[in-house]
Amino acid sequence: MRASTDSQRLLTELQTKGLRLTSPEQRHVSRRGGAGPSDHQAVTVDGTTLMVPIYTESAWQSPFSVQTLSGDEVLQHQESLDGDSLIPLKNVSFADSPKFYDLETSDGVPYSHIATLHSKDVLATTILQTCVRYESRKKACKFCSIGQSLRAGRTIAEKTPEQLAQVAKAAVELDGVSQMVMTTGTPATSDRGAKVLADSAKAIKAVVDIPIQGQCEPPADLVWYQRMKESGIDSLGMHLEVLGQELREEILPGKSEDTLAHYLEAFEHAVAVFGRGQVSTYILAGLGDSAETILAVSEQLIEIGVYPFVVPFVPIRGTPLEDHTSPSPEFMEGILRPLGRQLYDAGMTADTAKAGCSKCGACSTLASYEVPEASLAGEI
C-alpha cells in the first residue's frame, strides 16, 4: 500500500535527520560501522520499515524522538524550543534481536559476526571485510567504514561459504528471513569479488532456498556475470555511489578509475544475464551531485534496465566525511518523486526485484513514490 503524501514527506525527513532514542530499551538491532547502513537501526512506522540513523551526529540533534503515550510508542517531532507536537503516527516499533544471533559455529564464531539482520527480514553479510583500497587514504572511498566493525571485533575478516550457508539456513528457519544480500570488499583480483560471491551463493543455495543479491564492482572478465547467475545469485548490485567524474575523483579516489561510462557498459552486460530490474546501483544523494544530474543518469540507467536506488547520504563517524551534512528532505523529495514515477512507468519497481537493496527498500523511501503521476499529484 502506498503511503500518503504527508506520510512520504515525514518518513523521508525521518530518514535524512535521524532519530533520537530516549531510553536504552529502544536500542535493539543496530548497525555500527562496517559496510551497509552503518549507525542505523530498523524502525517500523505504521507498517513501513526504514533503516534510520541513530548513532550519527545529526541524529543526536534530530527533532524526532519516540515517546510512550497511553502505552503506545509515538513518533514525536519537536517543532521548536517552546514545545513539542506529536506526529499522528502510532505503531512505532523496533526490530528485535533475531534468534540466530544466539548461535555460534563449532569453532566458536558467533553467527552475528558472519551475517546480520537488516530491516526486519533481510540477512546481510560482507564476505571480505577488507578492501584493496581501504588502508590507503589516497585511494579509499571517503565515506567507507568497512574496517570499523572488524577492528571493533564485531565481525571476522573473511566468511567462508560453509559459514554463510549455516547462518542463512538458521536465519530462514528461526527468523523467517526472506532474502539475503551479500556484498564484499574489493580484492586485488580481476574478478573484483565475483568469485567469493559465486562460491558463497552455491553453498547457500545447496542448503536453503532463499533469494540472493550479490554486490561487487564490475569484473574484468565478462564470464563472471554468467558464473554468478549460475551459482544461485538472483540479482546483482554494482554501486556507482557518486556520478560526476570530478566528484568521483574527490570522494572515490581509487574507485573513480572506473568511470560512469565504464559502469554503463558493465550494466548492459549484467542486464543481458540477470534481466531488466534485476541489476541495481546505489546512488548517494547529498554528496554533491545535483538533483538534475541524478535524475538524468537515472533515466539512462532505467533505459538500460538498471534500478537506480537513490539513498540519502548519512555520514559515519570515523570517516573523512563524518562532518558532511545529510541532504534536506526537500532535496530528496525533489529526486524521489519524479524518479518513482519513471520507475513506475517503466514497470521496474522495487517489488519486481527478486532480491537486494531495491527489494528491501529500507534505506530509502523511493518505493513509496513508485506510483502513477496523477497519484503523486493527489488526483487519484
Q: Whose grid coordinates read 564476505?
A: 127
Show the cell assigned to 353: 526485484
What separation in angstroms does the CA of 153 have from each of 131, 203, 350? 17, 25, 34
pLDDT band at 33 (very low <50, low <70, confident <90, very high): very low
Compute the distance between CA of residue 101 and CA of residue 116 in angstroms, rounded to an integer: 8
Least confident of 46-50, 119-123, 217-221: 46-50
Compute the distance between CA of residue 185 and CA of residue 216 in angstroms, rounded to an integer: 8
What is the four-CA torsion angle of 182, 184, 188, 190, rounded to 10 degrees?
Answer: 30
Compute the distance between CA of residue 355 and CA of residue 142 in angstroms, rounded to an integer: 28
Yes or no: say if 163 and 197 are a contact pair by the CB < 8 Å rule: no
Q: How far apart are the first and last CA of the chain?
A: 14
| CA 81 to centroid of chain Cα atoms | 34
Domain ranges across the chain: 1-95, 97-233, 238-380
What separation in angstroms does the CA of 159 have from each of 35, 108, 113, 118, 355? 14, 14, 9, 18, 21
Long-range contacts of 327-332 (CB under 8 A, 24+ apart): 327/16, 327/285, 327/286, 328/16, 329/9, 329/12, 329/13, 329/16, 329/17, 331/285, 331/286, 331/291, 332/12, 332/15, 332/16, 332/285, 332/286, 332/365
Yes or no: say if 174 and 135 are a contact pair by the CB < 8 Å rule: no
* Closest alpha carbon to 129 in 193, 196, 181, 185: 185
Burial 159-180 (b: 16+ CB within 10 A, else e): bbbebbbbbbbbbbeebebbbb
Rg of the chain over all Cα atoms, to the nearest angstrom: 20
Compute the distance between CA of residue 229 and CA of residue 224 in angstroms, rounded to an integer: 8
**pLDDT tens per residue across span 244-261:** 999 999 999 999 999 999
pLDDT at 372: 87
Compute the distance between CA of residue 267 and CA of residue 16 in angstroms, rounded to an integer: 29
HEC string for 151-171:
HCCCCCCECCHHHHHHHHHHH
Return all residues near 352 (Cβ < 8 A) that are at least 6 apart: 277
Yes or no: say if 248 and 139 are a contact pair by the CB < 8 Å rule: no
Compute the distance between CA of residue 352 and CA of residue 357 in angstroms, rounded to an integer: 12
Return all residues near 299 (Cβ < 8 A) that are at least 6 apart: 342
pLDDT band at 81 (very low <50, low <70, confident <90, very high): very low
**pLDDT tens per residue across span 152-207:** 788 999 999 999 999 999 999 999 999 999 999 999 999 999 999 999 999 999 99
Least confident of 60-64, 108-112, 125-129: 60-64
Yes or no: say if 316 and 284 are a contact pair by the CB < 8 Å rule: no
**pLDDT tens per residue across span 308-366:** 999 999 888 888 998 898 999 999 999 999 999 999 999 999 999 999 999 999 999 99
Question: What is the phi/psi pair of residue 211, to 5°?
Answer: -65, 140
Show the cell assigned to 209: 532456498
